[in-house]
Structure 1
């Protein structure tokens, strides 16, 4: 049927702050929903409290409320905006739970507002453990034997009946919060107690153990005419016992028989009908006993999930976009497929490639945390890769993690086979590399299966990769046949260099000399049956490329890779805005990224999308392919965080123009001695500091400066490896504890700074185009010094600084921007101690605070004039106009270290509020 004519305004509920289990995949789904609804002429009201998201930009909704997502707040919005409907299925568990609260408190009835996407009844059926269990049984499917409990007495009684081990699952939670396997009463009391607390309904489900079973997911969509499509099947490489968000997964499912897949499909369709999801999508998880084929249904999510984002990017089928259209009343057969342009959305996607997702963890940030993977999700991000076979996709995904030791390697391994197998029995981050080493050293597939319960087919693929590696290592000639054989199984130039005992550059030179280059295939949803209209590419060592020639001038944007602590959705925000701004300026935009959760990897965010690892090899091959099909103006590296910055030198050395701040200028900010020279020449002050390449040098510097000192590695993001050290013994221990994560040596020195423990810290985000400085905002940290800026609460504008302090900050920021040679974004961190302004560090790139400043000032950073509050601006020198949104990335001359000539326009940021009581400062 056509779009409903009784829905003229919709309230979209977002997901709130990023948490483990609920990350930027809901920015992706919410952004798609807002765009679709507005395209359909619907007035969009959005509530979300996360300033780092694309969806909270004012351009994506007609009215945006950056407010807490509680039923009380939402009621006030409903009372003011009077929406016709509420869409809660695209904001994760936060939005779903808020919708339930609105229903339970009578708000929906009071204001005569309807839930669309999923009714309250459907949400309740999918989320309430007991109702869902009965519904599955009534559908003729099977579930694990289970009991519902609302108190600890009921929990213990159920355990007596079911026996140990058993699974604890709280109701209405996300990311497996509070769930786990209880092996005895002590475990059970701890887990069930937490689960009863975490569940909004104080309810937990206790299930028989299915540890070691094979786990699968289906992503389904259904419309009001009962058209149902299975968008994607996903198989967990890890068996049941590891949360699907923490498992390596593959799409489509590879070890299912046709009969098993059809059975899962039939069960899934029966369940989505029984639950009553008829205007959107859902995710259903299954387990299969490998010994007898018994199938049970684990759970269902009557909303989009993290797996929905993965399925969308894996297939090119925009689940969130279609869910929004279905919520308005459309049928699947009425919605055209954007990628083919000729098939409807009721055609199920067909894949002629393999997709692998690998999670990324941050246990190095929390040394005391338990790294064991369980049913409670612990990963902070993920990388996705596409290949023509599983081995290629797996190897590409592993190197996409950008984490030392995450890829397969063939160097010395001191541990025995028995030791490696014993380690692999416990699921942890990196278990697959441990298995690779065990199989390489002679473990059998049967031994590996007994240790891990990972399907023998996946283990055999690791054996195959090891066999290819041995062939490469022992081959007499490193020729076309050997190199192509390795590349067809996903080997990187770095891995080939290790195997042959030569450098990566030599491998690349030999490979290029032999004409061995990747081609780029297209994600088209139909396995080549129809031509794709949307250029969405992945690399393959086949013989025919599908990159179409282009006459437009291109700009390539390097994304931020997988989310991690310190590099998350805020960098995707910057990359997406760059794509929009450059497109508006008439350029063809090309995005390179490997994060399936993001808006930047939507096929319609940029003119072309390459889903590739962000390594120098992979990025250079993309650039060469694009250069062969048209003219590249340059590459944007400063908006995706530290990942693209680390590639900038190699990109420039390959002959491509790095737009914005040059690699040489980036070095001035990153390399402590060069930055110190800049500060000295500008008359600016930094805390006493030094650099060391080993522990003894660090001790000498620290004792000279005086403890406490702040130590941190060079060229890292998010404070990785940064610590406050109070004595020499602790400093020596720092080197021991961080040996696996922090690399210190020539070229990568350890920075040792005096720690200012009595300081007020400030963050400044600015734009500089070589002539004019634009201050987006000055933020004051509320916590004391020593709390990382990403972890500190802050205020905008600053509340305890006087006008003279603000002016000093402005002058210092200008001097740093000029001296470094910034072209675009700049983040500077300052500290004020005893009236002295110290420069802590400068980052010539997008920062975590850019979205916060944009939302806090209602000004996209760099768009128009500086935000102010009623005072006039003061210019020190005439400029040529405000900086563009992407910082005048082209055409500006480079500057060398130090303040040299040139004119600079400085606009004063006025101070708001009283000043005479704060630090004795006066206007």
Structure 2
């Protein structure tokens, strides 16, 4: 059931309210309602859920009660067959997870593996595709070949998606080429890694400590690869290493050591390392209580970036501008505790964000690419468009970036893949974080420069150095590659489309051409946000952005597009010598931008968030853009890139070429 007691503070009234609307909390509210003796019929009446399913949840609660009364061999076997984890059972009987695991193994209550019948019982299936059960017969027959288990990334969600699956598949290819039997554990059917013919054996299991250890016990692999399954897999590195040692098994974590992974992930240890290396970082602190958070923020100075530790996709990350905002964040967004501290960083306003993907073998570092983000720091890196090679960063800055990447990778003793995020502001390059795992940009970098980075990293992790593989020099491309994101707002009625530090995108596309403008134009076309070559452009931006948007508006006007804008923006553009038609703000009535949109006349919207009075207006404009399928831009950097792209697309011919043809032009320095 996966219920971890997170919602025990709900009152009976809370439960009834949550039951009425189908949210992600409702399943837990059903559990609570039945636990508090509400009848399945009553729950069915409120939710409209068929009582059959509610009785199944009641069965889980009945087994829970049995466990609490007495944990004997029969109850333990029944609990495991019902789907209880060792950790859940331990919590119910107030023992440790290790005690329950050891008891279960000593009683011979161990999982057996069944083959998925892909032939619907018509004839014998032979697909190496397994799931666990607590049945008597086991269909898994371990071989005595050298084998490696790769941890997948589990279910796809925002921040952790198909990019990690790409890395998993490339790791399998590398292992099989070396004659090593490749096993995958992953429980997401919507991936290539879970295709029955990708790996030698596939275990369709949750990526948890217990399930992975069960497979290790059964198969006894030579090693485990944790770097290709995103945060889910990397979080298991230390628990796995401890549990393997506790049980006296010979399996080991391949590649970067769990201690080095923890050094990169643990904020205080990583900050100390950066200090030793004399590498600048934004002013930062860690808080274990709301009072500590206020003290840290006051020391750093607002605005600050706050987030929970050990998360992916920037979940619950926010830019906070004052103490009142921090109060609201600490009260509503997170439950801060000693086990779950909050990280507080100086927010580098107007900084250029930089991403680097590299492979290190402990001796040498191969930089796959340095990416420059189009949006400034403050937009989550997973939501930001980025370009290879960087287009505005001076050569001296790139040399500093290369130096930091090499020094950090070697200091962390990385063996495999590493991703670094940096920011450049006022002549200084700051290191934001290092991730000793595959990142979501690996597929983009690999396709942009023609290097199979995940495959190279997997080979490093099984003992082949970069020099042995023939990859020691950074690739250099004569063309520009732009990664753009796909946003799901057309499927989320009512959601505001503004981007921030919490990741929202659900996919990525790329455009390649010989200049940034055309590459960006292609990327926007692929992202279903195609830039217009004629028609009306609506502009409404905050005061800070007016000077920059005037430059973009001038280019658009010269390219033959007509500009319409609201009061203050229109006035500023007129003073800048740009021809513009003024339209009303929405709350001032017609004619306003919504009228133009409804008539299908507006071809592009540039709107950055403005004052609090205009927030509702801005939201309506952005939301209508999605609903009427009008391309929209919500950051000033993207507006400038779009203006350049439109100008280039009107003058130049876009290049049509296969990816392989571009790759032939890559040189190595």
The answer as to 2:48 corresponding to 1:456 is no
Q: Is the 8 A contact 2:288 2:340 kept in 1?
A: yes
Aligned to 2:132: 539
Cα distance change on mapping 1:748 and 1:892 into 2, 3 Å: farther
After superposition, give the CA deviation of every residue in 1:872-896 in whole Å (9 maximum; x if it has no partner): xxxxxxxxxxxx3425103489xxx
The answer as to 2:479 corresponding to 1:886 is no
After superposition, give the CA deviation of every residue in 1:835-882 in whole Å (9 maximum; x if it has no partner): 11111111110101111111111322266xxxxxxxxxxxxxxxxxxx
Spell out the pairing of 1:44-443 with structure 2 (5 A cutoff).
395=1, 399=2, 407=3, 412=8, 414-416=10-12, 420-443=15-38
TM-score (normalised: structure 2): 0.67
Q: Is the 8 A contact 1:488 1:540 kept in 2?
A: yes
Aligned to 2:62: 467
Give the paired residue count. Answer: 470
After superposition, give the CA deviation of every residue in 1:716-754 in whole Å (9 maximum; x if it has no partner): 111112211111121121111113xxx533354322111
> Please, which of 622, 646, 650 is the counterpart of residue 239 of structure 2?
650
Aligned partner of residue 375 in structure 2, secondary structure: coil
> Please, which of 397, 408, 420 is the counterpart of residue 805 of structure 1?
397
Return the alpha-carbon distance in structure 1 between the equivalents of residues 368 and 310 of structure 2.
25
Cα distance change on mapping 1:459 and 1:621 into 2, 3 Å: same
Cα distance change on mapping 1:676 and 1:419 into 2, 3 Å: closer
After superposition, give the CA deviation of every residue in 1:9-28 in whole Å (9 maximum; x if it has no partner): xxxxxxxxxxxxxxxxxxxx
Aligned to 2:573: none
Aligned partner of residue 453 in structure 2, secondary structure: coil
> Please, which of 289, 302, 307 is the counterpart of residue 707 of structure 1?
302
Aligned partner of residue 461 in structure 2, secondary structure: coil
After superposition, give the CA deviation of every residue in 1:768-792 in whole Å (9 maximum; x if it has no partner): 0111111111110111221111111
After superposition, give the CA deviation of every residue in 1:93-132 in whole Å (9 maximum; x if it has no partner): xxxxxxxxxxxxxxxxxxxxxxxxxxxxxxxxxxxxxxxx
Cα distance change on mapping 1:420 and 1:781 into 2, 3 Å: same
Aligned to 1:498: 91
Aligned to 1:379: none
Spell out the pairing of 1:542-557 with structure 2 (5 A cutoff).
542-557=135-150
Cα distance change on mapping 1:408 and 1:677 into 2, 3 Å: closer
Aligned to 1:369: none
Return the alpha-carbon distance in structure 2 between the equivalents of residues 806 and 425 of structure 1.
55
Shift of residue 422, structure 1, vs aligned partner: 4.4
Q: Is the 8 A contact 2:170 2:454 kept in 1?
A: no
Shift of residue 602, structure 1, vs aligned partner: 0.8
After superposition, give the CA deviation of every residue in 1:544-598 in whole Å (9 maximum; x if it has no partner): 2111120211110110011111111101111111111111111111110111111
Q: Is the 8 A contact 1:468 1:486 kept in 2?
A: yes
Aligned to 1:780: 372
Aligned partner of residue 496 in structure 1, secondary structure: helix
Return the alpha-carbon distance in structure 2 between the equivalents of residues 410 and 707 of structure 1.
32
Aligned to 2:326: 731
Shift of residue 526, structure 1, vs aligned partner: 4.8
Moved more, 650-659 or 521-530: 521-530
> Please, which of 588, 604, 608 is the counterpart of residue 197 of structure 2?
604
The answer as to 2:411 corresponding to 1:816 is no
Cα distance change on mapping 1:887 and 1:766 into 2, 3 Å: farther
Shift of residue 541, structure 1, vs aligned partner: 0.7
Shift of residue 692, structure 1, vs aligned partner: 1.4
After superposition, give the CA deviation of every residue in 1:634-675 in whole Å (9 maximum; x if it has no partner): 101111100011111111112231111111001111112211
The answer as to 2:230 corresponding to 1:641 is yes
Unmatched 5+ residue regions in structure 2? 245-250, 466-470, 480-514, 516-669
Return the alpha-carbon distance in structure 2 between the equivalents of residues 482 and 584 of structure 1.
46
Return the alpha-carbon distance in structure 1 between the equivalents of residues 24 and 7 of structure 2.
20
Q: Is the 8 A contact 1:770 1:892 kept in 2?
A: no
Cα distance change on mapping 1:729 and 1:677 into 2, 3 Å: same
